[in-house]
Chain A
């Protein structure tokens, strides 16, 4: 008993020291003193989705390193960052958010990447209250396309609604026109989570408009056994399968499809089923699989030359596996970083070349205009899409391309395909209005001013 008491006291003392060490808040220096721009990274380098996370942050960090080394940061303001591991989990994501939201050493948070659909949804209201814009590339709550109701949420480039619509439009293209959609059976195999369900509303609407049959089949998380689902698909004999997967679910789907004899080249993966990490584990049977993307794979964009010169060849890359250079996820990290830094640059144009805070970052995003010319300067033509945002349009795109796996690499097999924005936007606005009503929010005007 004596012994355990001693150890109790010892652990108590240790705990007190630990608490002091860990939670003792460092008094932040005055904001004016900061000469650097802090960018917190909510990472998932461990857990079920680590294989996609690791190349994403490599892309982001390599781009930051390049900016700092080659261009001296953004207009002379160097970037600093640190990581907080979320494991893609909401609770950890919230903890990280609260930890980083006040910035670091006096440098505020200009824009935050939640890097997870559930975290983005959980932060929606908190970030609005804290005036920190959430930048969610190709995911995030679709309603927040309406920036008048959601001033601090930016589901840029491709919302889930647009994703579904571009997939259907691709099917229409290869079938010979939208009138050929009539009578087709299209199965959506989705991850049974809020993320996976986001395309149900637009697909139901598109099915009604074009006359195809919309069949929804859920796959329970994480999706490592789909025998029952594909047996059902085999019975249904659909013309196409739209695969809204995530993580391990995608390769399992491709493998199981091959096993039951469903043609892999009639499966279209969603935006989060479109990476090398998704198809390589499926092996040879993945050949012919299609997917939607907004950041094609490849390492011969002009930006890649600059990255090689200043980062990769100097041994400064965050990438452990050099083979991932130019992979879809690495490139998605680059596109993420380009959009964020261009928004900061835009904000600096109005507020001065200094660290930008969340409110200014929001202004920067709402006035972001990445033109073809600017993309050429960056060296990212064909890698990143052009992007013009406004207070009433936080998506700014709604276009995607289709890529096909040839067993070794992805090949782009379509031009940019636009979504049926005119058809979908009223539904999105309706949802946003319902949200505004439920929460008692007065939407801003189209130019961003309040009444």
Chain B
């Protein structure tokens, strides 16, 4: 089972290797192909409901949300606490598209939902043209509260369900029912792989360089002719788009039913912690960070339960796990303030260094 663990970062890490020599590129392609085979064929065959529903799907969706925020915050330097709002927008938009335009295929509804969320992202990002840093954080925070409140307040968004929660209409692509755990896993995995690939290309493109120039010093970037306003808004659009897709998947592929409360401020903070711990400005960091934040608590819980099962009061044990988790985060950030991705990159450099004996 642990092969799954190592498998997923490998795919996202592939672009990092691809920039090397032709030999390395061949190796990376082979590794990527193998990983893809394991992920797309092996895992659905071997994985049971617990692995797919409770571990892999939430991990993949959080990875996606973190990629969205990382593009916005890690690459373009625009701090945002609006991730939850973008996710909610994506979820409610996709739900309404599926509900009101039932003839649209699922992938189209998903992408359109993401686009709507991206547009909301642009609107939320407008103040970034005038303010930055902590001040910008405050305006995205306002969006976080406003949007979730709107979805909760107006029944139209949830089709007047008695509790303003939404649940997925039948998930199917071209007649294939995707409601089984394996189907939902494959839907999520495909979305993550496609978006991660596009994101990897994007950050190396001119847009990506614009973002990084703005992040490093927007005044200097403006002086040398980088289109700062367009760069900031495009970052908000792309970040909102990716987070929107993540929100739709969180609602339909993972939980099955959500209300606006699932996308509250805690969710925004969670995603922010993921990229801080994983590594700002690193796509691989988003994957590792998501693994750390989503999987480690479960791991601690299971290990503690297995070792101490029943011996200690359940409530105390849970509190102890929180302490342990917090301590681990602090330890990691002291040891490696630039995130787990940097730790991995250093390990890779060490493995590849010819001087090693």
Contacts and interface: CB of A to CB of B under 8 A. Distances in A.
Given A99-B54, A121-B257, A18 B303 contact: yes
A91 B299 contact: no
B164 A197 contact: yes
B164 A194 contact: yes
A9 to B, nearest CB: 8
A84 B89 CA distance: 32
A94 interface: yes
Contacts of A94: 53-54, 254-255
Contact of B306 (A21, A87, A121, A193): A21
B54 A98 contact: yes
A85 B2 contact: no
Nearest to B180: A129
B335 to A, nearest CB: 6
Nearest to A199: B162
Interface in A84-105: 85, 87, 90-91, 94-95, 97-99, 101
A68 interface: no
Interface residues of A, number: 55
Contacts of B165: 121, 194
Nearest to A54: B315
A5 B347 contact: yes
B132 interface: no
A439 interface: yes
Interface in A12-41: 15-16, 18-25
A337 B313 CA distance: 21
A121 B163 contact: yes
Contact of A98 (B50, B169, B346): B50
B92 to A, nearest CB: 14
Interface in B304-357: 306-307, 309-310, 313-315, 317-319, 322, 335-336, 343, 346-347, 350
Contacts of B322: 46
A5 B255 contact: no
A122 interface: yes
Contacts of B301: 85
B346 A122 contact: no
Nearest to B58: A91
Contacts of A25: 48
B197 interface: no
B261 A221 contact: yes
A373 to B, nearest CB: 37
Contacts of A438: 169
Residue with the greatest number of chain A CB neighbours at <10 A, chosen from B257, B298, B306: B257
Interface string A2-13: 001101100000
A23 B302 contact: yes
B102 to A, nearest CB: 10
Interface string B256-281: 11110110100000000000000000
Residue with the greatest number of chain A CB neighbours at <10 A, chosen from B48, B54, B164, B336: B54
A42 B303 CA distance: 18
B50 A99 contact: yes
A126 interface: yes
Interface of A: 1, 4-5, 7-8, 15-16, 18-25, 43, 45-46, 50, 54, 82-83, 85, 87, 90-91, 94-95, 97-99, 101, 118, 121-122, 124-126, 130, 141-143, 192-195, 197-198, 200-201, 221, 431, 438-440
13 contacts: A4-B343, A15-B299, A21-B303, A23-B51, A45-B313, A45-B315, A45-B318, A91-B58, A98-B54, A99-B54, A126-B53, A126-B256, A197-B164
Given A46-B318, A95-B54, 14 more contacts: A4-B343, A4-B346, A5-B347, A15-B299, A45-B315, A50-B315, A82-B310, A85-B315, A94-B255, A99-B54, A130-B49, A197-B163, A431-B162, A438-B169
